[in-house]
Each structure stands twice: as structure tokens, then as C-alpha cells.
């Protein structure tokens, strides 16, 4: 198992977390497989997926260290423990809960809690966040990252919400260390219809866009 520091470094290196939300566990499994086939290695399964812990366990067994597997929507200490027992290497939340941050670190896992305002971002960092999930990022757009980075250059920010292949470059140029992409990648309508190749193609396009956005100027 990778250390906290190694996981955070890999998230930075990969640059994008594929967020898997689905109506069923089987759809979530399919989604994880096809985004991996499209070249995305950091995959987050949210606890909104029915039987999420079992899906995380199955993916960990199936894919092992070929992916960087995390759990999302971790809203309690118990969910943090459940995620880690299942094999999650990092935890992500839409909010900042001091107890969940502490539990994640007790379990030896990095956590990326959610925040939006400058006060929330600073609080999350002071409470021990390994990086801060800026959510919902689309509300104020990529330029908001630049505004936040001015007073908080030391805080790694991961924008989530409305980020996609078309605009990810703007987020990286304004200071994102990585991005999280959910519905713009894993479209539930495509999942329900079994149109997996279209999701794989979106993953390929996103991976290419992230790589291009991070090339030296």
C-alpha cells in the first residue's frame, strides 16, 4: 500500500481523478473499467453508489496497483473506515469535517475535503487536508482559482464540478494541481444505455487534454 505522501504525489502527477457515480454497483464497475481503458488511472467511487464499499473492494482486487483507487462522498468516520477496509487509498468529501480528516489520517490515508469560500479553504487546510477539493468549481470558474492562490499559494487545490476536457486547461493555468471530473465523463445516460465506448472515448479525450494543458509553456 502506498503512503499518504506517495498517493498525493501520484494524484499530482496524474492530474485527473475520474469520479464514478452510478445507479447500481454493476454500472459503477463498468464505468471504472472503461475509464481505465481510456487512460485514466485515478478513479474515485462515491458512496452514493449502492454497495460502494463492495465495488471498491472488487476494483481493488481486480485492478490492484494499476489504478489509484479512492472513495468519494465520505461524510463520516464510519464511511472512512469502511472505505479503507475495502481498499481505498484516498478519501474525498464534499465538505470539511474535522473528525473525518482526523480519522483518515489515523487510517494512514490522505483526504481531500471540500470547500468553496476562502474561509472554508483555509479552514480545511489548517485542519490537515492533504489537498482541498474546490467544489462546486463551475460556480465562479477557473479565474477563481487564481484569486484563491494569491493569498493561499501553499494550498493545493483540486477543482471539481463542471470541469471537462474543454476547460481543464484554464483550471491548470490558474493553479489547479489536479482536477476531478464526474458527470462530464461518466454520463449516467450512457451507462444505462450500455454505450461504454463513448465513455472510453471521453476518457481518452480528457487524458489528452490534461496532458496538453500541463506541457511547459
Identify the pLDDT of residue 64: 86
Catalytic residue selected from 27, 44, 89, 103: 44
Mark whether 62 is an active-site residue.
Answer: no
pTM above 0.85, yes or no: yes
Query: 17: helix, coil or strand?
Result: strand
Which residues is 195 bridged to in the sheet? none
Q: Which domains does the chain have, with CATH numbers?
A: 4-213 (3.20.20.70)
Along the chain (217 residues), what's the average pLDDT of each consecutive run of 10 residues?
94 98 97 98 99 98 94 99 98 99 99 98 99 96 97 98 97 98 97 97 98 87
CA–CA separation, 50 vs 120, rounded Å?
A: 30
Identify the pLDDT of residue 217: 67
Catalytic residue selected from 27, 82, 103, 133: 133
Mark whether 133 is an active-site residue.
Answer: yes
Amino acid at each position: 500500500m502506498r503512503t499518504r505522501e506517495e498517493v498525493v504525489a501520484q494524484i499530482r502527477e496524474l492530474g485527473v481523478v475520474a469520479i464514478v457515480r452510478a445507479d447500481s454497483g454493476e454500472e459503477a464497475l463498468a464505468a471504472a473499467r472503461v475509464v481505465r481503458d481510456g487512460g485514466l488511472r485515478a478513479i474515485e467511487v462515491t458512496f452514493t453508489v449502492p454497495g460502494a464499499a463492495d465495488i471498491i473492494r472488487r476494483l481493488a482486487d481486480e485492478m490492484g496497483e494499476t489504478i489509484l483507487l479512492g472513495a468519494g462522498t465520505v461524510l463520516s468516520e464510519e464511511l472512512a473506515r469502511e472505505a479503507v477496509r475495502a481498499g481505498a487509498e484516498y478519501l474525498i468529501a464534499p465538505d470539511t469535517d474535522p473528525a473525518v480528516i482526523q480519522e483518515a489520517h489515523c487510517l494512514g490515508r490522505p483526504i481531500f475535503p471540500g470547500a468553496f469560500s476562502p474561509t472554508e479553504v483555509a479552514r480545511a487546510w489548517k485542519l490537515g487536508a492533504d489537498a482541498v477539493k474546490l467544489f462546486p468549481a463551475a460556480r465562479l470558474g477557473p479565474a477563481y482559482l487564481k484569486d484563491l492562490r494569491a493569498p493561499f499559494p501553499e494550498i493545493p487545490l483540486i477543482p471539481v464540478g463542471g470541469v471537462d476536457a474543454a476547460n481543464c486547461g484554464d483550471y491548470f493555468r490558474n493553479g489547479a494541481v489536479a482536477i476531478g471530473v464526474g458527470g462530464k465523463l461518466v454520463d449516467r445516460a450512457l451507462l444505462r444505455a450500455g454505450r461504454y465506448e463513448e465513455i472510453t472515448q471521453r476518457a481518452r479525450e480528457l487524458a489528452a487534454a490534461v496532458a496538453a494543458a500541463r506541457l511547459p509553456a
